[in-house]
Structure 1
Amino acid sequence: MTGYEKTLDWPLYEGRPKPYLLATTPRSGSTFLSHLLWQTGCLGAPLEYLNFEATGPFGSANGLPDRQAAVWEHVVAHRTSPNGIFGMKAFPLQMEVLGSQNPSLLTRTMRFLLGKGHGSRVVQLRRRDEIAHAISLARASLSGIWRAEQEHGEDPDPIYSAHMVNRARRELAAQDEAWAQMCREMGITPLVLWYEDVVASPTDAVAAVADYLSVALDPAAEIEVPRIRQQSQSGAREWRQQYEGGSD
Protein backbone atom coordinates (compact mmCIF):
# COMPACT_ATOMS: atom_id res chain seq x y z
CA MET A 1 0.00 0.00 0.00
CA THR A 2 1.15 3.55 -0.71
CA GLY A 3 -0.73 5.24 2.12
CA TYR A 4 -2.96 7.26 -0.18
CA GLU A 5 -5.72 4.67 -0.56
CA LYS A 6 -9.20 5.84 0.40
CA THR A 7 -9.59 2.72 2.52
CA LEU A 8 -7.17 4.43 4.95
CA ASP A 9 -9.28 7.59 5.24
CA TRP A 10 -10.88 8.71 8.46
CA PRO A 11 -14.61 9.46 8.55
CA LEU A 12 -15.64 12.88 7.27
CA TYR A 13 -14.45 15.68 9.55
CA GLU A 14 -17.00 18.47 9.51
CA GLY A 15 -15.35 21.10 11.70
CA ARG A 16 -12.46 23.46 10.92
CA PRO A 17 -9.22 21.49 11.05
CA LYS A 18 -6.14 22.75 12.86
CA PRO A 19 -3.51 22.40 10.12
CA TYR A 20 0.25 22.15 10.08
CA LEU A 21 2.86 21.84 7.36
CA LEU A 22 5.59 19.21 7.40
CA ALA A 23 8.16 21.19 5.44
CA THR A 24 11.02 19.06 4.21
CA THR A 25 13.15 17.97 1.24
CA PRO A 26 13.51 14.78 -0.80
CA ARG A 27 15.43 11.90 0.82
CA SER A 28 15.12 13.40 4.30
CA GLY A 29 13.33 10.47 5.92
CA SER A 30 10.08 12.41 5.78
CA THR A 31 7.94 9.40 4.89
CA PHE A 32 9.22 7.62 8.00
CA LEU A 33 8.32 10.62 10.16
CA SER A 34 4.95 11.21 8.50
CA HIS A 35 3.90 7.63 9.18
CA LEU A 36 5.04 7.88 12.81
CA LEU A 37 2.82 10.94 13.24
CA TRP A 38 -0.07 9.35 11.38
CA GLN A 39 0.14 6.21 13.52
CA THR A 40 -0.74 8.19 16.66
CA GLY A 41 -4.23 8.80 15.30
CA CYS A 42 -3.97 12.30 16.77
CA LEU A 43 -1.57 14.18 14.45
CA GLY A 44 -3.26 13.89 11.09
CA ALA A 45 -1.73 11.94 8.23
CA PRO A 46 0.90 14.33 6.79
CA LEU A 47 1.51 12.95 3.31
CA GLU A 48 2.16 14.63 -0.05
CA TYR A 49 -1.33 15.78 -0.90
CA LEU A 50 -0.15 18.33 -3.46
CA ASN A 51 2.04 15.89 -5.39
CA PHE A 52 0.38 15.77 -8.79
CA GLU A 53 3.40 14.57 -10.75
CA ALA A 54 2.55 11.95 -13.35
CA THR A 55 4.32 9.29 -11.29
CA GLY A 56 3.14 10.68 -7.95
CA PRO A 57 0.33 9.55 -5.64
CA PHE A 58 -2.23 11.70 -7.46
CA GLY A 59 -0.83 11.33 -10.97
CA SER A 60 -4.34 10.93 -12.37
CA ALA A 61 -4.87 14.64 -11.62
CA ASN A 62 -1.71 15.76 -13.40
CA GLY A 63 -2.48 18.82 -15.52
CA LEU A 64 -6.14 18.85 -14.43
CA PRO A 65 -6.80 21.80 -12.07
CA ASP A 66 -10.41 20.86 -11.31
CA ARG A 67 -9.45 17.31 -10.37
CA GLN A 68 -6.59 18.60 -8.25
CA ALA A 69 -9.01 20.83 -6.36
CA ALA A 70 -11.30 17.85 -5.80
CA VAL A 71 -8.38 15.81 -4.43
CA TRP A 72 -7.56 18.61 -2.01
CA GLU A 73 -11.15 18.90 -0.80
CA HIS A 74 -11.28 15.16 -0.21
CA VAL A 75 -8.05 14.90 1.77
CA VAL A 76 -8.91 17.85 4.01
CA ALA A 77 -12.24 16.23 4.80
CA HIS A 78 -10.95 12.67 5.25
CA ARG A 79 -7.30 12.95 6.31
CA THR A 80 -8.05 15.16 9.29
CA SER A 81 -7.73 13.01 12.40
CA PRO A 82 -10.85 12.77 14.60
CA ASN A 83 -9.42 15.35 17.03
CA GLY A 84 -9.26 17.94 14.22
CA ILE A 85 -5.58 17.88 13.24
CA PHE A 86 -4.63 18.02 9.55
CA GLY A 87 -1.04 17.67 8.39
CA MET A 88 0.50 17.92 4.95
CA LYS A 89 4.02 17.11 3.82
CA ALA A 90 5.60 19.13 1.02
CA PHE A 91 8.87 19.89 -0.74
CA PRO A 92 9.61 23.38 -2.09
CA LEU A 93 9.78 22.15 -5.68
CA GLN A 94 6.30 20.65 -5.40
CA MET A 95 4.95 24.00 -4.35
CA GLU A 96 6.75 25.71 -7.22
CA VAL A 97 5.27 23.29 -9.74
CA LEU A 98 1.78 23.75 -8.32
CA GLY A 99 2.24 27.52 -8.43
CA SER A 100 3.02 27.39 -12.14
CA GLN A 101 0.28 24.91 -13.06
CA ASN A 102 -2.53 25.68 -10.62
CA PRO A 103 -1.84 28.99 -8.84
CA SER A 104 -5.36 29.30 -7.45
CA LEU A 105 -5.04 25.98 -5.62
CA LEU A 106 -1.61 26.93 -4.26
CA THR A 107 -3.03 30.19 -2.91
CA ARG A 108 -5.97 28.36 -1.40
CA THR A 109 -3.86 25.67 0.29
CA MET A 110 -1.28 28.11 1.65
CA ARG A 111 -4.02 30.30 3.07
CA PHE A 112 -5.54 27.24 4.73
CA LEU A 113 -2.23 25.93 6.09
CA LEU A 114 -0.50 29.15 7.03
CA GLY A 115 -3.08 31.90 6.92
CA LYS A 116 -3.08 34.46 9.68
CA GLY A 117 -5.52 34.10 12.52
CA HIS A 118 -5.22 30.44 13.43
CA GLY A 119 -1.64 30.06 14.65
CA SER A 120 0.46 28.82 11.75
CA ARG A 121 2.49 25.72 12.55
CA VAL A 122 5.44 24.39 10.53
CA VAL A 123 7.47 21.29 11.36
CA GLN A 124 10.70 21.37 9.38
CA LEU A 125 12.58 18.09 8.96
CA ARG A 126 16.26 18.30 8.03
CA ARG A 127 19.33 16.05 7.91
CA ARG A 128 22.58 16.91 9.69
CA ASP A 129 24.66 14.61 7.50
CA GLU A 130 24.65 16.71 4.33
CA ILE A 131 26.87 14.30 2.40
CA ALA A 132 24.70 11.26 3.11
CA HIS A 133 21.62 13.29 2.20
CA ALA A 134 23.12 14.43 -1.10
CA ILE A 135 24.33 10.94 -1.98
CA SER A 136 20.86 9.57 -1.36
CA LEU A 137 19.29 12.18 -3.65
CA ALA A 138 21.93 11.76 -6.35
CA ARG A 139 21.57 7.97 -6.42
CA ALA A 140 17.77 8.11 -6.54
CA SER A 141 17.87 10.71 -9.32
CA LEU A 142 20.17 8.54 -11.43
CA SER A 143 18.46 5.21 -10.78
CA GLY A 144 14.85 6.33 -10.64
CA ILE A 145 14.44 4.22 -7.49
CA TRP A 146 12.92 6.30 -4.72
CA ARG A 147 11.31 3.65 -2.52
CA ALA A 148 12.28 0.20 -1.25
CA GLU A 149 9.30 -1.27 -3.10
CA GLN A 150 10.95 -0.30 -6.39
CA GLU A 151 14.15 -2.21 -5.65
CA HIS A 152 14.93 -5.48 -7.40
CA GLY A 153 17.98 -7.64 -6.87
CA GLU A 154 19.03 -7.36 -10.48
CA ASP A 155 18.95 -3.55 -10.60
CA PRO A 156 22.39 -2.18 -11.57
CA ASP A 157 23.92 0.27 -9.11
CA PRO A 158 24.09 3.81 -10.53
CA ILE A 159 27.55 4.85 -11.67
CA TYR A 160 29.26 7.07 -9.11
CA SER A 161 29.24 10.78 -9.92
CA ALA A 162 30.83 13.44 -7.71
CA HIS A 163 29.17 16.03 -9.95
CA MET A 164 25.72 14.68 -9.09
CA VAL A 165 26.51 14.63 -5.38
CA ASN A 166 27.69 18.24 -5.45
CA ARG A 167 24.65 19.30 -7.42
CA ALA A 168 22.40 17.52 -4.93
CA ARG A 169 24.12 19.32 -2.04
CA ARG A 170 23.40 22.68 -3.66
CA GLU A 171 19.78 21.76 -4.43
CA LEU A 172 19.07 20.53 -0.92
CA ALA A 173 20.69 23.55 0.71
CA ALA A 174 18.57 25.84 -1.47
CA GLN A 175 15.38 23.97 -0.54
CA ASP A 176 16.15 24.08 3.18
CA GLU A 177 16.77 27.80 2.88
CA ALA A 178 13.51 28.26 0.95
CA TRP A 179 11.55 26.89 3.92
CA ALA A 180 13.57 28.95 6.39
CA GLN A 181 12.98 32.11 4.35
CA MET A 182 9.25 31.41 4.16
CA CYS A 183 9.07 31.10 7.94
CA ARG A 184 11.06 34.31 8.44
CA GLU A 185 8.86 36.26 6.06
CA MET A 186 5.66 34.97 7.67
CA GLY A 187 6.88 35.35 11.24
CA ILE A 188 6.55 31.62 11.93
CA THR A 189 8.76 29.86 14.45
CA PRO A 190 9.05 26.31 13.10
CA LEU A 191 9.75 23.18 15.06
CA VAL A 192 13.00 21.92 13.51
CA LEU A 193 13.55 18.17 13.72
CA TRP A 194 16.63 16.33 12.53
CA TYR A 195 16.37 13.00 10.75
CA GLU A 196 19.15 11.49 12.81
CA ASP A 197 17.30 12.35 16.04
CA VAL A 198 14.01 11.00 14.72
CA VAL A 199 15.63 7.65 13.90
CA ALA A 200 17.42 7.52 17.25
CA SER A 201 14.29 8.30 19.28
CA PRO A 202 11.01 8.20 17.34
CA THR A 203 8.96 8.53 20.52
CA ASP A 204 10.68 11.79 21.45
CA ALA A 205 10.15 13.16 17.94
CA VAL A 206 6.43 12.40 18.04
CA ALA A 207 6.14 13.93 21.50
CA ALA A 208 7.89 17.09 20.31
CA VAL A 209 5.43 17.50 17.45
CA ALA A 210 2.46 16.89 19.72
CA ASP A 211 3.76 19.46 22.21
CA TYR A 212 4.40 22.00 19.43
CA LEU A 213 0.83 21.55 18.18
CA SER A 214 -0.61 21.53 21.72
CA VAL A 215 -2.11 18.10 21.12
CA ALA A 216 -2.64 15.51 23.86
CA LEU A 217 -1.74 12.05 22.53
CA ASP A 218 -4.25 9.31 23.30
CA PRO A 219 -2.85 5.76 23.11
CA ALA A 220 -6.38 4.49 22.44
CA ALA A 221 -6.44 6.51 19.20
CA GLU A 222 -3.41 4.76 17.66
CA ILE A 223 -3.99 3.12 14.29
CA GLU A 224 -2.22 0.74 11.92
CA VAL A 225 -0.55 2.44 8.95
CA PRO A 226 1.49 1.01 6.05
CA ARG A 227 4.99 0.01 7.07
CA ILE A 228 8.00 1.86 5.68
CA ARG A 229 10.82 -0.31 4.39
CA GLN A 230 14.33 1.12 4.42
CA GLN A 231 16.24 1.03 1.15
CA SER A 232 19.55 -0.79 0.83
CA GLN A 233 22.51 1.33 1.95
CA SER A 234 25.40 -0.75 0.57
CA GLY A 235 25.91 1.27 -2.60
CA ALA A 236 25.56 4.55 -0.71
CA ARG A 237 28.44 3.59 1.58
CA GLU A 238 30.67 2.94 -1.42
CA TRP A 239 29.73 6.30 -2.91
CA ARG A 240 30.64 8.05 0.30
CA GLN A 241 34.06 6.42 0.39
CA GLN A 242 34.71 7.61 -3.17
CA TYR A 243 33.36 11.10 -2.51
CA GLU A 244 35.37 11.64 0.65
CA GLY A 245 38.40 10.20 -1.09
CA GLY A 246 38.14 12.83 -3.78
CA SER A 247 37.19 10.52 -6.65
CA ASP A 248 35.47 12.03 -9.66
Structure 2
Amino acid sequence: MVEVVAFPTVTPLGHSTPTQSCEWLRHFAAASLYLAVPLNWVLCSYKAAVSIDTYVICSTPRTGSTLLCELLTSTGIAGTPHSYFRSQDIDRRAAEWGLSLGWRFTSYSEAVRRFTSSANGVVGLRVMWGTLDEIFNELRPLHGNIDDLALLEAEFGDVRYIYLRREDLIGQAISLFKAEKSNYWHSTQPGVPSREVRYNYEEIEKRVASLKNDDAAWVEWFRSVGIEPFSVTYEDLELNPIDATTNVLRYLDLEYSGEFFAPNEKLADEKTEDWRERYLRRANAT
Protein backbone atom coordinates (compact mmCIF):
# COMPACT_ATOMS: atom_id res chain seq x y z
CA MET A 1 0.00 0.00 0.00
CA VAL A 2 1.19 3.52 -0.83
CA GLU A 3 0.10 5.71 2.06
CA VAL A 4 -0.54 9.43 2.39
CA VAL A 5 1.39 11.23 5.09
CA ALA A 6 0.02 14.66 4.23
CA PHE A 7 -1.51 16.56 1.37
CA PRO A 8 0.78 19.54 0.75
CA THR A 9 -0.06 22.28 -1.67
CA VAL A 10 0.16 22.07 -5.46
CA THR A 11 2.23 24.47 -7.50
CA PRO A 12 0.12 24.97 -10.64
CA LEU A 13 1.60 25.55 -14.07
CA GLY A 14 2.35 29.19 -14.61
CA HIS A 15 2.54 29.98 -10.89
CA SER A 16 5.70 30.46 -8.83
CA THR A 17 4.07 29.73 -5.47
CA PRO A 18 1.72 26.98 -4.30
CA THR A 19 -1.99 27.51 -3.83
CA GLN A 20 -4.06 26.39 -0.86
CA SER A 21 -7.49 26.79 -2.48
CA CYS A 22 -7.85 23.13 -3.46
CA GLU A 23 -6.19 21.69 -0.35
CA TRP A 24 -9.30 19.80 0.68
CA LEU A 25 -9.86 18.45 -2.84
CA ARG A 26 -6.92 16.07 -2.50
CA HIS A 27 -8.49 14.60 0.64
CA PHE A 28 -11.68 14.13 -1.33
CA ALA A 29 -9.80 12.54 -4.22
CA ALA A 30 -8.44 9.83 -1.93
CA ALA A 31 -11.88 9.25 -0.43
CA SER A 32 -13.48 9.06 -3.86
CA LEU A 33 -11.55 5.85 -4.52
CA TYR A 34 -14.10 4.22 -2.22
CA LEU A 35 -17.15 6.44 -2.77
CA ALA A 36 -19.25 6.60 -5.92
CA VAL A 37 -18.99 10.40 -5.98
CA PRO A 38 -17.53 12.19 -9.02
CA LEU A 39 -14.77 14.64 -8.25
CA ASN A 40 -16.26 17.47 -10.25
CA TRP A 41 -19.35 17.54 -8.04
CA VAL A 42 -17.02 19.35 -5.66
CA LEU A 43 -16.75 22.99 -6.64
CA CYS A 44 -13.32 24.50 -6.24
CA SER A 45 -12.47 28.18 -6.49
CA TYR A 46 -9.16 27.43 -8.19
CA LYS A 47 -8.71 25.99 -11.67
CA ALA A 48 -5.18 25.21 -12.76
CA ALA A 49 -3.94 26.21 -16.19
CA VAL A 50 -3.41 22.90 -17.99
CA SER A 51 -2.34 22.14 -21.53
CA ILE A 52 -4.23 18.88 -22.02
CA ASP A 53 -7.85 17.76 -21.96
CA THR A 54 -7.51 13.98 -21.85
CA TYR A 55 -4.90 11.31 -21.42
CA VAL A 56 -5.25 7.64 -22.35
CA ILE A 57 -3.49 4.83 -20.51
CA CYS A 58 -3.04 2.27 -23.30
CA SER A 59 -2.51 -1.12 -21.74
CA THR A 60 -3.23 -4.82 -21.38
CA PRO A 61 -4.56 -6.63 -18.28
CA ARG A 62 -2.36 -7.19 -15.20
CA THR A 63 0.17 -4.45 -15.88
CA GLY A 64 -0.41 -2.46 -12.68
CA SER A 65 -2.91 -0.17 -14.38
CA THR A 66 -5.25 -0.12 -11.37
CA LEU A 67 -2.39 0.98 -9.11
CA LEU A 68 -1.37 3.71 -11.55
CA CYS A 69 -4.98 4.90 -11.87
CA GLU A 70 -5.35 5.07 -8.08
CA LEU A 71 -2.11 6.99 -7.66
CA LEU A 72 -3.09 9.50 -10.34
CA THR A 73 -6.56 9.91 -8.87
CA SER A 74 -5.12 10.60 -5.42
CA THR A 75 -3.40 13.75 -6.68
CA GLY A 76 -6.72 15.48 -7.37
CA ILE A 77 -5.33 17.00 -10.59
CA ALA A 78 -5.36 14.06 -13.05
CA GLY A 79 -9.03 13.10 -13.23
CA THR A 80 -10.19 9.68 -12.07
CA PRO A 81 -8.80 7.35 -14.76
CA HIS A 82 -10.68 4.11 -15.29
CA SER A 83 -11.98 1.80 -18.06
CA TYR A 84 -15.06 3.91 -18.77
CA PHE A 85 -15.53 2.54 -22.29
CA ARG A 86 -15.31 -1.14 -21.38
CA SER A 87 -18.44 -2.53 -23.05
CA GLN A 88 -19.39 -4.75 -20.10
CA ASP A 89 -19.63 -1.73 -17.78
CA ILE A 90 -21.10 1.03 -19.95
CA ASP A 91 -24.79 0.38 -19.23
CA ARG A 92 -24.15 0.26 -15.48
CA ARG A 93 -22.19 3.49 -15.51
CA ALA A 94 -24.79 5.21 -17.70
CA ALA A 95 -27.47 4.31 -15.16
CA GLU A 96 -25.32 5.54 -12.27
CA TRP A 97 -24.84 8.86 -14.07
CA GLY A 98 -28.56 9.24 -14.67
CA LEU A 99 -28.59 8.89 -18.46
CA SER A 100 -32.05 8.19 -19.84
CA LEU A 101 -32.93 4.93 -21.59
CA GLY A 102 -31.82 4.92 -25.20
CA TRP A 103 -28.90 7.26 -24.49
CA ARG A 104 -26.52 8.03 -27.34
CA PHE A 105 -22.77 7.61 -27.30
CA THR A 106 -22.29 11.38 -27.32
CA SER A 107 -24.31 11.62 -24.10
CA TYR A 108 -22.23 8.91 -22.47
CA SER A 109 -18.95 10.48 -23.59
CA GLU A 110 -20.09 13.83 -22.21
CA ALA A 111 -21.01 12.14 -18.92
CA VAL A 112 -17.51 10.67 -18.70
CA ARG A 113 -16.04 14.15 -19.02
CA ARG A 114 -18.57 15.70 -16.66
CA PHE A 115 -18.44 13.13 -13.87
CA THR A 116 -14.81 11.95 -13.94
CA SER A 117 -12.72 15.06 -14.61
CA SER A 118 -10.74 16.73 -11.87
CA ALA A 119 -11.37 20.39 -11.04
CA ASN A 120 -8.84 21.48 -13.67
CA GLY A 121 -10.87 19.72 -16.38
CA VAL A 122 -8.45 16.83 -16.99
CA VAL A 123 -9.97 13.45 -17.91
CA GLY A 124 -8.12 10.14 -17.64
CA LEU A 125 -9.08 7.03 -19.61
CA ARG A 126 -7.77 3.48 -19.35
CA VAL A 127 -8.14 1.55 -22.61
CA MET A 128 -7.23 -2.09 -23.21
CA TRP A 129 -6.41 -3.06 -26.79
CA GLY A 130 -9.73 -4.80 -27.43
CA THR A 131 -11.67 -1.69 -26.45
CA LEU A 132 -10.01 0.67 -28.93
CA ASP A 133 -11.91 -0.54 -32.01
CA GLU A 134 -15.18 -0.40 -30.06
CA ILE A 135 -14.55 3.29 -29.35
CA PHE A 136 -13.71 3.98 -33.01
CA ASN A 137 -16.86 2.19 -34.16
CA GLU A 138 -18.90 4.62 -32.07
CA LEU A 139 -16.95 7.72 -33.07
CA ARG A 140 -16.81 7.30 -36.86
CA PRO A 141 -20.57 7.79 -37.44
CA LEU A 142 -20.34 10.97 -35.34
CA HIS A 143 -17.20 12.57 -36.77
CA GLY A 144 -16.86 11.11 -40.25
CA ASN A 145 -14.17 9.10 -41.98
CA ILE A 146 -11.13 10.75 -40.43
CA ASP A 147 -7.97 9.16 -39.06
CA ASP A 148 -7.79 7.58 -35.62
CA LEU A 149 -6.05 10.44 -33.83
CA ALA A 150 -8.40 13.01 -35.32
CA LEU A 151 -11.36 10.93 -34.14
CA LEU A 152 -10.10 10.86 -30.58
CA GLU A 153 -9.24 14.55 -30.60
CA ALA A 154 -12.64 15.45 -32.04
CA GLU A 155 -14.29 13.74 -29.09
CA PHE A 156 -11.80 14.25 -26.26
CA GLY A 157 -9.81 17.39 -27.15
CA ASP A 158 -6.03 17.51 -26.70
CA VAL A 159 -5.10 13.88 -25.98
CA ARG A 160 -1.85 12.39 -24.71
CA TYR A 161 -0.96 8.71 -24.64
CA ILE A 162 0.71 6.56 -22.00
CA TYR A 163 1.76 3.03 -22.90
CA LEU A 164 1.75 0.76 -19.85
CA ARG A 165 3.15 -2.72 -20.35
CA ARG A 166 4.73 -5.56 -18.40
CA GLU A 167 8.16 -6.87 -19.31
CA ASP A 168 7.52 -10.15 -17.47
CA LEU A 169 5.02 -11.63 -19.93
CA ILE A 170 4.87 -15.01 -18.20
CA GLY A 171 4.14 -13.43 -14.83
CA GLN A 172 1.47 -11.32 -16.50
CA ALA A 173 -0.16 -14.37 -18.08
CA ILE A 174 -0.12 -16.29 -14.78
CA SER A 175 -1.67 -13.32 -13.00
CA LEU A 176 -4.38 -13.00 -15.66
CA PHE A 177 -5.18 -16.72 -15.55
CA LYS A 178 -5.48 -16.71 -11.75
CA ALA A 179 -7.65 -13.57 -11.75
CA GLU A 180 -10.01 -14.83 -14.44
CA LYS A 181 -10.47 -18.25 -12.85
CA SER A 182 -10.85 -17.02 -9.25
CA ASN A 183 -12.67 -13.77 -10.11
CA TYR A 184 -10.30 -12.06 -7.67
CA TRP A 185 -8.66 -9.13 -9.41
CA HIS A 186 -7.42 -6.72 -6.75
CA SER A 187 -6.36 -6.79 -3.11
CA THR A 188 -9.06 -4.23 -2.27
CA GLN A 189 -11.77 -6.56 -3.53
CA PRO A 190 -13.94 -7.71 -0.60
CA GLY A 191 -13.82 -11.34 0.45
CA VAL A 192 -11.42 -14.02 -0.71
CA PRO A 193 -10.95 -15.75 -4.08
CA SER A 194 -14.13 -17.59 -4.96
CA ARG A 195 -12.34 -20.85 -5.80
CA GLU A 196 -8.92 -22.46 -5.78
CA VAL A 197 -7.13 -22.19 -9.11
CA ARG A 198 -5.07 -25.15 -10.31
CA TYR A 199 -2.01 -24.86 -12.52
CA ASN A 200 -2.72 -25.36 -16.22
CA TYR A 201 0.07 -24.98 -18.76
CA GLU A 202 -2.22 -24.71 -21.78
CA GLU A 203 -4.33 -21.95 -20.21
CA ILE A 204 -1.25 -19.94 -19.27
CA GLU A 205 0.29 -20.44 -22.71
CA LYS A 206 -2.93 -19.22 -24.34
CA ARG A 207 -2.74 -16.01 -22.31
CA VAL A 208 0.95 -15.53 -23.06
CA ALA A 209 0.11 -15.57 -26.77
CA SER A 210 -2.91 -13.29 -26.38
CA LEU A 211 -1.06 -10.70 -24.29
CA LYS A 212 1.89 -10.78 -26.68
CA ASN A 213 -0.45 -10.13 -29.61
CA ASP A 214 -2.17 -7.25 -27.82
CA ASP A 215 1.14 -5.58 -26.97
CA ALA A 216 2.27 -5.97 -30.58
CA ALA A 217 -1.03 -4.45 -31.73
CA TRP A 218 -0.51 -1.40 -29.50
CA VAL A 219 3.03 -0.91 -30.83
CA GLU A 220 1.83 -1.19 -34.42
CA TRP A 221 -1.02 1.26 -33.80
CA PHE A 222 1.35 3.82 -32.28
CA ARG A 223 3.59 3.43 -35.34
CA SER A 224 0.72 3.66 -37.81
CA VAL A 225 -0.69 6.90 -36.35
CA GLY A 226 2.73 8.44 -35.85
CA ILE A 227 2.82 8.97 -32.10
CA GLU A 228 5.43 8.09 -29.51
CA PRO A 229 3.59 7.43 -26.25
CA PHE A 230 5.10 7.93 -22.83
CA SER A 231 6.22 4.46 -21.76
CA VAL A 232 5.79 3.01 -18.26
CA THR A 233 6.22 -0.58 -17.15
CA TYR A 234 4.77 -2.71 -14.39
CA GLU A 235 8.32 -3.11 -13.19
CA ASP A 236 8.71 0.68 -12.90
CA LEU A 237 5.60 0.82 -10.71
CA GLU A 238 6.76 -2.13 -8.63
CA LEU A 239 10.21 -0.65 -8.03
CA ASN A 240 9.13 2.90 -7.22
CA PRO A 241 5.44 3.75 -7.72
CA ILE A 242 5.89 7.38 -6.64
CA ASP A 243 8.66 8.10 -9.13
CA ALA A 244 6.78 6.31 -11.91
CA THR A 245 3.61 8.31 -11.26
CA THR A 246 5.51 11.57 -10.91
CA ASN A 247 7.09 10.96 -14.32
CA VAL A 248 3.64 10.43 -15.82
CA LEU A 249 2.43 13.71 -14.31
CA ARG A 250 5.44 15.53 -15.75
CA TYR A 251 4.69 14.10 -19.18
CA LEU A 252 1.15 15.43 -18.80
CA ASP A 253 2.51 18.85 -17.74
CA LEU A 254 0.76 18.52 -14.39
CA GLU A 255 2.99 19.77 -11.58
CA TYR A 256 2.37 18.12 -8.22
CA SER A 257 4.34 18.21 -4.97
CA GLY A 258 1.93 16.38 -2.68
CA GLU A 259 1.69 12.84 -1.39
CA PHE A 260 0.14 9.85 -3.17
CA PHE A 261 -2.29 7.22 -1.99
CA ALA A 262 -3.32 3.83 -3.32
CA PRO A 263 -4.92 0.99 -1.34
CA ASN A 264 -4.05 -1.72 -3.83
CA GLU A 265 -1.41 -4.34 -2.99
CA LYS A 266 0.48 -6.89 -5.06
CA LEU A 267 -1.24 -10.28 -5.34
CA ALA A 268 1.70 -12.37 -6.56
CA ASP A 269 2.83 -15.06 -4.10
CA GLU A 270 5.00 -18.17 -3.85
CA LYS A 271 2.52 -20.04 -6.03
CA THR A 272 3.19 -17.58 -8.85
CA GLU A 273 6.93 -18.33 -8.76
CA ASP A 274 6.28 -22.08 -8.60
CA TRP A 275 4.00 -21.87 -11.61
CA ARG A 276 6.57 -19.82 -13.51
CA GLU A 277 9.21 -22.51 -12.99
CA ARG A 278 6.80 -25.25 -14.06
CA TYR A 279 5.78 -23.28 -17.14
CA LEU A 280 9.37 -22.57 -18.18
CA ARG A 281 10.44 -26.20 -17.72
CA ARG A 282 7.75 -27.40 -20.09
CA ALA A 283 8.12 -24.51 -22.54
CA ASN A 284 11.88 -25.10 -22.78
CA ALA A 285 11.36 -28.82 -23.25
CA THR A 286 9.17 -28.39 -26.32
TM-score (norm 2): 0.69
3-state SS of paired residue (1:71): helix
**Does the aligned pair in 2 maintain the 1:12–1:78 contact within 8 Å?**
no
SS at match of 1:47: coil
For residues 16 and 213 of structure 1, the distance between their equivalents in structure 2, rounded to whole angstroms, comes to 8
Partner of 1:237: 273
Name the amino acid aligned to 2:244. Answer: A
Question: Residues of 2 paired with 1:111 and 1:133: CA distance?
Answer: 32
Give me the whole-angstrom Cα distance separating, in 1, the residues matched to 2:118 and 2:89. 28
Find the residue that maps to 1:53 and give its secondary structure.
helix
Contact residue 41 and residue 223 of structure 1 kept, 8 A:
no
Give, as a single letter, the amino acid of the residue that structure 2 aligns with 1:175: D
The 1:48/1:195 distance shift into structure 2, 3 A limit, reads: same
Question: What is the distance in 1 between the residues matched to 2:141 and 2:36?
Answer: 21
Q: 1:193 aligns with which of 229, 232, 240?
A: 232
d(CA) in 2 for partners of 1:128 and 1:47? Answer: 22
What's the counterpart of residue 39 of structure 1?
A: 74
Matched residues in 2 for 1:211 and 1:198: separation?
Answer: 16
**What is the number of residues matched between the two proteins?**
241
- Aligned with 1:124 (options 155, 163, 171): 163
Q: Which amino acid aligns with 1:83?
A: N
- Contact 1:16-1:84 at 8 Å conserved across structures: no
Aligned to 2:180: 141
**Distance (whole Å) between structure 2 residues aligned to residue 163 and residue 85 of structure 1:** 42
- Asked whether the equivalents of residues 162 and 232 of structure 2 are also in contact (C-alpha less than 8 Å), the reply is yes
* Whole-Å separation in 2 of the counterparts to 1:94 and 1:32: 20
Matched, 1:25 2:64: no
The reply to whether residue 10 of structure 1 matches residue 40 of structure 2 is: yes
Alignment of 1:44-123 (within 5 A): 44-53=79-88, 58=93, 66=103, 69-97=106-134, 102=138, 111=150, 113-114=152-153, 120-123=159-162
Distance 1:75 1:4 in 2: 18
1:90 is displaced (CA, Å) by: 0.9
How far did 1:127 drift? 0.8
Residues in 2 aligned to 1:246 and 1:170: alpha-carbon distance in whole angstroms: 16
* Secondary structure at the counterpart of residue 264 of structure 2: coil
Task: Give the residue type in structure 2 aligned to 1:91.
Answer: M
In structure 1, what is the Cα distance between the partners aligned to 2:42 and 2:205?
A: 45
CA distance in 2, matches of 1:104, 1:4: 35
Q: Partners of 2:222 and 2:124 in 1: how far apart?
A: 17
Query: What code does the residue aligned with 1:90 have?
Result: V
- Secondary structure at the counterpart of residue 243 of structure 2: helix
Which position in structure 2 is the counterpart of 1:207?
246
RMSD between superposed Cα atoms in Å? 3.8
Alignment check: 8 A CA contact 2:38 2:115 kept: no
Q: CA deviation at 1:186?
A: 1.6
Q: Which residue matches 2:192?
A: 152
1:182 aligned to which of 221, 225, 241? 221
TM-score if structure 1 supplies the norm length? 0.79
Runs of 4+ off more than 3 Å = 1-6, 11-17, 54-61, 67-71, 96-100, 102-120
User: What is the CA-CA distance between 1:235 and the residue it aligns to?
Assistant: 3.0
